Amino acid sequence: MSSSIVRPLAPAELGNFWEIVVLAGSDGYYPQEKEKRVKWFERLVEASGGPLYYGAFRGRQMVGGMAISDFGINLRSAMVRLSSVGMVHTDMLHKKEKVCKDMMEYFIQTNRKKGVSLLTLTPFRPDFYKQMGFGYGSCLYQYRIPPASFPNKGSKECLSYIGTERMQDYLACVDRAAGKTHGMIKSFWTISGPFRDGHRVLAYEQGGETRGILAFSFGEAREMIIDELLYEDAQALHAFCSFLHAQSDQFDRIAFSTPDPHFYYILHAPTDGLKNLECCASIIHNMFRVIDVPGIFNELRDVNFNGQSAVIEIAVRDSFCPENAGSTIVEFADGHPHVGDEQAVDARLYLDISDFSSLLMGSIDVRTLYRLGLVEIQSERELALLDRIFMFGQMPLSTGGL
CB neighbour list of residue 176: distance below 8 Å, 6 or more residues apart: 211, 232
Cβ-contact 146, 270 below 8 angstroms: no
Domain covering 292-390: architecture: 2-Layer Sandwich (3.30)
d(CA 19, CA 53): 13
Confidence grade of residue 19 (pLDDT, cut at 50, 70, 90): very high
Residue 333: strand pairing partners: 336
Burial (Cβ within 10 Å: 0-12, 13-18, ≥19) of residue 261: middle
Measured over the CA atoms of residue 21, residue 26, residue 29 and residue 34, the dihedral's sign is negative
**Nearest-10 crossing angle of helices 34-48, 14-24:** 110
Residue 61 region by backbone torsions, left for phi larger than 0, else alpha for psi between -120 and 50, else beta: beta
β-pairing, 375-376 vs 135-136, is unpaired
β-pairing, 61-75 vs 78-90, is antiparallel
Cβ-contact 328, 297 below 8 angstroms: yes
Written in H, E and C, the secondary structure of 77-139 is CEEEEEEEEEEEEECHHHCCCCHHHHHHHHHHHHHHHHCCCEEEECCCCHHHHHCCCCEECCE
Task: Residues 141-284: name the CATH superfamily.
Answer: Gcn5-related N-acetyltransferase (GNAT) (3.40.630.30)
Cβ-contact 141, 221 below 8 angstroms: no
d(CA 124, CA 126): 6
Where do the CATH 3.40.630.30 domains begin and end in the chain? Answer: 5-116, 141-284
Cβ-contact 282, 317 below 8 angstroms: no
Neighbours of 176 (CB within 10 A): 16
What 3-state DSSP class applies to 153?
coil
Residue 399 has pLDDT above 80, yes or no: no
| pLDDT at residue 233, rounded to an integer | 93
Per-residue pLDDT tens digits for 331-379: 999 999 999 998 999 999 999 999 999 999 999 999 999 999 999 999 9
Tally the C-alpha atoms within 13 A of residue 293's C-alpha that lie toward its C-beta.
29
Confidence grade of residue 402 (pLDDT, cut at 50, 70, 90): very low
Where do the CATH 3.30.1050.10 domains begin and end in the chain? Answer: 292-390
Neighbours of 213 (CB within 10 A): 25
Domain covering 5-116: architecture: 3-Layer(aba) Sandwich (3.40)
Q: Of 101, 86, 75, 76, which is closest to residue 48 (Cα–Cα)?
A: 86
| pLDDT at residue 181, rounded to an integer | 93
Per-residue pLDDT tens digits for 50-87: 899 999 999 999 999 999 999 999 999 999 999 999 99
Percent of the chain whose pLDDT exceeds 70: 97
Per-residue pLDDT tens digits for 146-192: 999 999 999 999 999 999 999 999 999 999 999 999 999 887 667 77
